[in-house]
A and B are shown apart, each in its own frame.
Chain A
Amino acid sequence: MTGPVSPDISQPELFDLLAGIGRERAGPGGTPPPEPLYDRHGVLVVRVGDVVVKAHQADRGEDPDLGRRVALAGDLPELFAAPLGPPLRVTGGFGERTVTVTAFGEPVHPDDLPWRAAARLLADLHRRPVPPDAPGWGRPARVARLVERLPDGPAAGEVRRAFATLPAWIREGSPDPDPAGEHLIHGDWHLGQMVRLPDGSWRFIDVEDLGRGDPVWDLARPAALHSAGVLRPADWTAFLTSYRAAGGPAVPLLGDPWARLDIPARTLAIQIAATCVISARGTDRPLDEAETALVDACTRISRMVA
């Protein structure tokens, strides 16, 4: 397990409930003890043998389109390790939560990042026909919420100034008024959203933002980290080349892709920088090297646009 594991479960009652759901769904061969995989930001994920049970964030659990997103992923088993059935609603002392059950897959190992496989999987998703009932994706609403929560201080000021350069619809958390293309997109893609099946092939997990949208947003995070100088240049080249070679529609095959990537990359650089500044202040620690690189990127964004 590579993700953050908390030995102290923040919500023991919810943990026990998820473990119980997992034991019912786990395949034959006995049920190993439940193992917490993720316990942050109001999300709790528990593995029981060959299934993973996830309690979604309370404030996102009421997405009326989640059922359709789950069904959409279920129709693309070669792309998604989709939930094994429709979402469940559970209640208890923790309130009311949405729960999904998924087959367990091996997460990405930090020493062996599958940039090429990830890019091919994204290109494949973006080339699929969009079902007429596909819901819209839910982002980029997160950046405005995070900038709202920024503390005072010089680093936060840099992030705020960069945020002011974004188009109004992003600053207001509105839907894209003029999407460049309508494709199926993952909607919140990063390397934590991939798992490897026993046969070695990769799948997406997390369908909460799956829907119809501009596919360039699925490239936004690596584009932001590359622009901030945090990625190795060869990793960005591998990711972009594999996406282009697989016929991905988000960027042109040749030439400069940054006319398309600039705004999404800026948005994600600002969002990640805001996350870092909030997290560092919350635990009263200085920014580390990579976090500082993201704040520096914000400084360059406002200087370039001013």
Chain B
Amino acid sequence: MNKNLTLTRRNFIKAGAATGLLLANPVFSMGRKPPLGRVVIVGGGYAGTTAAKYIRMWSLGAIEVVVVEKSSQFVSCPMSNLVLGGTKTIDDLTFGYDFVQKNHGIQWAQDEVTAINTQAKKVIMKCGELNYDRLIVAPGIDFDYAALPNLMTKDAQQQIPHAWKAGWQTVNLRKQLEQMPDGGVFVMTIPKAPYRCPPGPYERACQVASYFKAHKPNSKVIVLDANAEVISKKGLFQKAWKALYPNIVEYRPNSAIVSVDVATKTVITELDQVKAEVLNVIPPQQAGKVAQLANLLEPDYPWCEVDFLTYESKVAPNVHVIGDSVSSGLPKSAHMATSQARVCASAIVELMKGQSPDPAPVFANTCYSFIDDKLAMHVANVYRYDAPKKIMVPAEGGGVSANASAQEGVYAQAWAQNIWADVLT
């Protein structure tokens, strides 16, 4: 076995059984170092898994890739609001990693990272350690409960779900909505931007309202937004609320949450107190835990600064950050995470070959939102590297749908199938 890879026996077997590749892969089975070195990727979400696949593809197998991910399944956050609306189940959004592992010879450790030593270029996990030549940190978001300490416990989060990472939290919120009597009030709170998925909260308001309209028509959706206005697809969401849910959705801007009373499901804002039957607090967010462990956050902004040509961290050499944890004006979306992952993958392949990456990357982003069970709308932009500013800026010509439509509802489903297939096969 490669001497750089010290996994405990139990974990090794788990990873081996999952991929079938630790032994089957000709490069590693002979104990040879892969010719260009090893990349370790922490996080198997949209960003991390995409980076793993494309590094293997574009290096023609010459870079060894090990992904460390604590979950055994991939659960898609995009489309998870439809679980609340009732047109999808969480099982429709849950996938295995076996295809992508086998198709691309990606090594996999199902484990949790406990520390990162960027000096020694080493990732320490519960069940072993991994040395890397380059590290990619793709941990998504972490919730920042500093201002909402009584929501910190698992128990509080059971009663007041965030449902902002898809999984049992989503199922929990759907169950609460199902159990709520007609005439009840659903309250959701939106943190100050930036947060994961800018249009997501407004789509959620539509999905819950769509469920109420069909099944509990006397119920209300109250949206308490810490922002001064709807921050994505504003005109389109306002139009949807007015046209489809005039007596259901009530939107209140500038309503930052000050505290929450868990027992009575009451939200206290600066000006108001709102009591809910079902309460969904989307907490303020910051770069994921592993980015914190590696000290990659800016001193007074909880996101990670990177070089947009390579996604290399501004504070730790040979460590790259992609996806929601990146500090940028870019939307924290799944498509964006995959676009960043591919720039990073392409750059890492070139750097490890001793060559230079593309000096002016360009990529696309799209976010679809469903306003009921069928109608969807998009925001889409191309982003280009701006050399003087050293950031990615939106190119001219992007924009939003003229109207939500059933045709875009179909295309949005196609988007999901294609991005899942791209990331996971």
A and B, one complex? no
